[in-house]
């Protein structure tokens, strides 16, 4: 006698934004930040933070992939066989990364050339795979969307903070516009300024080791501001 498979349909839950949903969105910005608390995604934080533009593009890419992979995995969580769940998750992430890479190539070829290798490495970003395994595989799409958005923004925020100091002190510019130094033409005429005109670019800040120092300082400041994180990780 043939067995009949019974598919149990999950009851649709209303979309709401209460304390639980707010916590999913805000926790990765402070108490559970992917970089400063979980110490994940450090490789890209070292590689793409020499300039604000590259850091911003990487942040947008990770937010898109994190949200998309979380939502898709959540929608398919009841039909993905447990034996191949990680393979399926990697396929979902790789598909979204390919979309980002091709879009960036068409829209901003300069950014694509600067980030092409690192955009591809989003596939192996442990933050994204970790959220799929820890959250999206067991929660509804709306909550997974908020979790992906929160973690993506929390990751991107640290990238931008690190890139701000590295580009400003290393190149004297922000988003490619000269800000400080003897040749600056923005915000203040530093050729005549005693405050900024003397500044010489610190070439150490554009090297990878400086990113580790800046991230370490950011982690120190974060935990000094929030003492409850001192014993975390």
- pTM, full prediction: 0.84
189-225 per-position pLDDT tens digit = 444 444 566 677 788 888 888 888 999 999 999 888 8
pLDDT, residue 30, reads: 86
Q: CA-to-CA distance for 56 and 106, rounded, in angstroms? A: 17
Indicate if the pLDDT at residue 8 is higher than 70: no
pLDDT, residue 77, reads: 87
Identify whether 19 is part of a domain: no
Q: CA-to-CA distance for 147 and 73, rounded, in angstroms? A: 13
Identify whether 103 is part of a domain: yes
Range of the domain at 79: 38-225
- Residue 64's alpha-carbon distances to 39, 46, 59, 106, 169, in angstroms, are 21, 21, 9, 17, 30
pLDDT, residue 194, reads: 44
Identify whether 108 is part of a domain: yes
What's the domain count of the chain? 1
Identify whether 116 is part of a domain: yes
Identify whether 170 is part of a domain: yes
pLDDT, residue 233, reads: 52
22-55 per-position pLDDT tens digit = 888 888 888 888 888 888 878 877 888 888 998 9
Identify whether 85 is part of a domain: yes
Identify whether 159 is part of a domain: yes
Structure tokens, 109: 């070829």
Confidence bin at 7 (pLDDT 50/70/90): very low
Identify whether 110 is part of a domain: yes
91-150 per-position pLDDT tens digit = 999 999 999 999 998 998 888 888 878 888 888 888 898 889 888 888 899 999 999 999
């Amino acid at each position: 006698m043939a067995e009949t498979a019974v598919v149990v349909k999950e009851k649709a839950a209303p979309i709401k934004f209460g304390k639980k949903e707010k916590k999913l969105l805000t926790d990765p910005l402070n108490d559970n930040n992917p970089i400063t608390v979980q110490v994940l995604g450090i490789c890209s934080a070292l590689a793409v933070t020499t300039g604000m533009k590259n850091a911003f593009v990487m942040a947008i890419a990770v937010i898109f992939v994190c949200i998309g992979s979380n939502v898709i995995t959540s929608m398919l969580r009841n039909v993905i066989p447990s034996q191949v769940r990680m393979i399926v998750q990697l396929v979902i992430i790789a598909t979204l990364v390919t979309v980002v890479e091709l879009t960036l190539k068409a829209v901003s070829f300069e950014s694509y050339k600067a980030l092409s290798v690192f955009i591809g490495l989003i596939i192996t970003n442990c933050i994204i795979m970790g959220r799929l395994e820890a959250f999206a595989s067991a929660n509804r799409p709306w909550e997974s969307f908020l979790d992906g958005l929160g973690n993506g923004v929390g990751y991107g925020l640290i990238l931008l903070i690190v890139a701000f100091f590295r580009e400003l002190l290393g190149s004297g510019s922000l988003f490619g516009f000269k800000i400080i130094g003897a040749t600056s033409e923005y915000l203040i005429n530093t050729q005549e300024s005693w405050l900024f005109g003397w500044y010489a670019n610190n070439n150490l800040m554009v090297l990878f080791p400086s990113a580790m120092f800046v991230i370490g300082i950011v982690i120190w400041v974060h935990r000094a501001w929030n003492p409850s994180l001192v014993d975390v990780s």
